[in-house]
Structure 1
């Protein structure tokens, strides 16, 4: 099923307008309402519940009753797994480019989940239910695409830029060392905040990917190193302005970013770019962290930050 029509339900006018604009930029035909109404939802294939919707689970049940085939997404700034009543999270601010890739995957997951057999017992479900790729599709903390699922698209973007001589930059983002042991709860807080800082810093055409448990990869099409440096500095600055309480301490986390870019006339691969970005990231952290680094071999000029 190709998703072309959406309904936004959001009580606040400003929030409703932003959601509608983001969905329309993703190529959807969008109607927007302050509250759920069956008349407005007749043709909707996806229903987005805004962050100000009261009792979203109750509204979602009404959507299911009226539109059993529709996707139900919950829009929110804080990353995390979707609640049981929703098919997924729509991270805010809306990234139209990200949404264009995400919607087909959500449709696929919804189709698979519908095909699951009725529960006859735990062992029967484990044996018979189709295996959903949700664990490899999205990172549960950031809601960025997991690298194993998204790598083919990344390879294609690099090949396309190289073939047509278009600028392309890549950034690797990682937290600097903290004075405490990072347990699961702290990691959730750190990565949730980082995801929000990144989404607020990227453009609609950029791709954030969870490259590894402790590294986020940003692919920046049509971007040279100067443009990538601007994006990376925004991420660093937003993280550095944040703080969080942990074990009677106030922590002020920072991140470092390593950059690389396609060099004119050089036949570099995605793997080459990642290695260059990793070396730049290592240099940034060795220099004290909370900085953006571009090695001379990557930038084609003197190293800077």
Structure 2
């Protein structure tokens, strides 16, 4: 499904106008209303503004009338919205939205296909989030089945596939919650702007993002990883009157046609590559070849 039209539901006049303008800059046709009862026409995307009262109830009404529409909750701070299929960070970034919408549609399609096939939903512990609150990437605990299947499919059909593990290099300051939110929010934006429609970003752990790159060889994965490093390296933020210029390192692992590597093999290789990149000073992309006695280093950024 290609998203071309959206409905904004936001009681506040100023907030409604800003949401509408942000979505229009992303190339969408937008109608904006104060309440769901005023909404007319059809749309593939519905955005609930931050001041909507009883948003869960409104979300149910949205799904009854527009069951195929993607539902997002607009929020100024990172967090969860169990009634929606994703968060729309405020202020709206048109570039980020253009990249993220196809990703969200793709993930929802995958989830619905799994349910229609009667596949069991992942069991989540109480309080375990579907989305990471800082990056809004899917948590690995929820998405791991799909990752495993992609690796098996690539191996069975002789297709290339690559993994990348991304992590911040050590900072000169101790990161508190506010700084971590800024850092991970910026990293998420850099990653989304660097990926292609066929790539998947997943929050692998609290401090590492896993990039699943189907139909991608080592050279292609290196290109993607360098874009992420370069975008982060160009950023800066102020914390405790200090200007911080964060950098990330990326460890790569690739499944070449004919190789019998499992996901566990690939993730161990990517972790070793990441540790090597950070030990070499950071702001690097590296991969250590699996073949004994052979080491391949990819020049860092």
Could you tell me which residue of structure 2 aligns to residue 163 of structure 1? 156
1:18 equivalent to 2:12? Answer no
After superposition, the C-alpha distances for 1:74-112 in whole angstroms (9 at most, x for unaligned) are 357x77225698664147332424433247769xxxxxx
**Do the aligned residues in 2 keep the contact of 1:57 with 1:85 (CA within 8 Å)?**
no
**Quick one: structure 1 residues 278 and 79, their matched pair in 2 at CA, closer, same or farther if it must change by over 3 Å?**
farther
Q: Which runs of 5 or more structure 2 residues have no equivalent in the other structure?
A: 9-18, 90-95, 113-123
1:302 equivalent to 2:296? Answer yes
What is the CA RMSD across the aligned residues, in angstroms? 3.6
Deviation at residue 291 of structure 1 after TM alignment: 0.9
Could you tell me which residue of structure 2 aligns to residue 289 of structure 1? 282
Q: Map 1:185-264 onto structure 2 (within 5 A).
A: 185-264=178-257
Deviation at residue 267 of structure 1 after TM alignment: 0.5
**Do the aligned residues in 1 keep the contact of 2:59 with 2:83 (CA within 8 Å)?**
no
**Quick one: structure 1 residues 164 and 79, their matched pair in 2 at CA, closer, same or farther if it must change by over 3 Å?**
farther
SS at match of 2:146: helix
Could you tell me which residue of structure 1 aligns to residue 118 of structure 2? none
**Quick one: structure 1 residues 134 and 207, their matched pair in 2 at CA, closer, same or farther if it must change by over 3 Å?**
farther
**Do the aligned residues in 2 keep the contact of 1:168 with 1:222 (CA within 8 Å)?**
yes
Deviation at residue 290 of structure 1 after TM alignment: 0.3
Query: In the aligned structure 1, how far is the partner of 2:61 from the partner of 2:194?
Result: 37
Query: In the aligned structure 1, how far is the partner of 2:267 from the partner of 2:256?
Result: 14
The alignment covers a number of residue pairs equal to 262
After superposition, the C-alpha distances for 1:6-51 in whole angstroms (9 at most, x for unaligned) are 7443533x8337364xxxxxxxxxxx433238576455685135xx
**Quick one: structure 1 residues 140 and 88, their matched pair in 2 at CA, closer, same or farther if it must change by over 3 Å?**
same
Deviation at residue 63 of structure 1 after TM alignment: 5.4
Q: Which runs of 5 or more structure 1 residues have no equivalent in the other structure?
A: 21-31, 107-130
After superposition, the C-alpha distances for 1:229-282 in whole angstroms (9 at most, x for unaligned) are 111011001111111111111110100000010023220000100011111111
Provide TM-score, normalisation by structure 2: 0.73
SS at match of 2:163: strand
Query: In the aligned structure 2, how far is the partner of 1:229 from the partner of 1:41?
Result: 46
Provide TM-score, normalisation by structure 1: 0.72
> Could you tell me which of 25, 32, 35 is aligned with 1:35?
32
Q: Map 1:129-144 onto structure 2 (within 5 A).
A: 135-144=128-137
1:182 equivalent to 2:190? Answer no
After superposition, the C-alpha distances for 1:192-247 in whole angstroms (9 at most, x for unaligned) are 11111111111111111111111100000111111111110110011111111111
Could you tell me which residue of structure 2 aligns to residue 115 of structure 1? none
Query: In the aligned structure 2, how far is the partner of 1:304 from the partner of 1:45?
Result: 42
**Quick one: structure 1 residues 270 and 98, their matched pair in 2 at CA, closer, same or farther if it must change by over 3 Å?**
farther
Deviates more, 1:152-161 or 1:175-184: 175-184
